[in-house]
């Protein structure tokens, strides 16, 4: 399966990401793995550094992308991609390390 950019979704599947990451150049600030909504969904949700809960609740601010596309935007997420459903990580600024947190994306 390929997306509109011609990239294979591969075993990692699709993710929901802030448009500020996917095409906007922002780094991942929060990532959570939720139960997938269908067979193509990896369950990963990605918010950019500085995104607010309100911005993440607005569909027009989000994009469906492959996990590989998000890795291309911010490779520092790779060590966490094998984490199970229910895992969440956050960094406080674009240069900081990811820390385990409670999932706060609704």
What six digits make up the tokens of 39? 């067979």
pLDDT tops 60 at residue 11: no
Spatial contact of 14 and 69, defined as CB atoms under 8 Å apart = no
Extents of the domains making up the chain: 14-91
Over the stretch 63-101, which tens digit does the pLDDT of each residue have?
Answer: 999 999 999 999 999 999 999 999 999 998 888 999 999
Does the pLDDT value for residue 53 go beyond 50? yes
What is the number of alpha carbons within 13 Å of residue 64 lying toward its C-beta? 13
pTM of this structure? 0.85
The pLDDT, as a whole number, for residue 94 is 84
């Amino acid at each position: 399966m390929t997306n509109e950019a011609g990239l294979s979704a591969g075993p990692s599947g699709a993710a929901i990401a802030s448009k500020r990451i996917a095409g906007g150049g922002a780094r991942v600030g929060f990532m959570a793995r939720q139960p997938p909504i269908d067979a193509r969904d990896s369950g990963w949700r990605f918010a950019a550094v500085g995104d607010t809960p309100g911005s993440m609740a607005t569909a027009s601010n989000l994009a469906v992308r492959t996990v590989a596309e998000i890795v291309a935007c911010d490779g520092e997420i790779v060590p966490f991609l094998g984490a199970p459903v229910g895992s969440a990580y956050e960094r406080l600024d674009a240069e900081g390390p990811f820390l385990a947190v409670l999932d706060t994306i609704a």
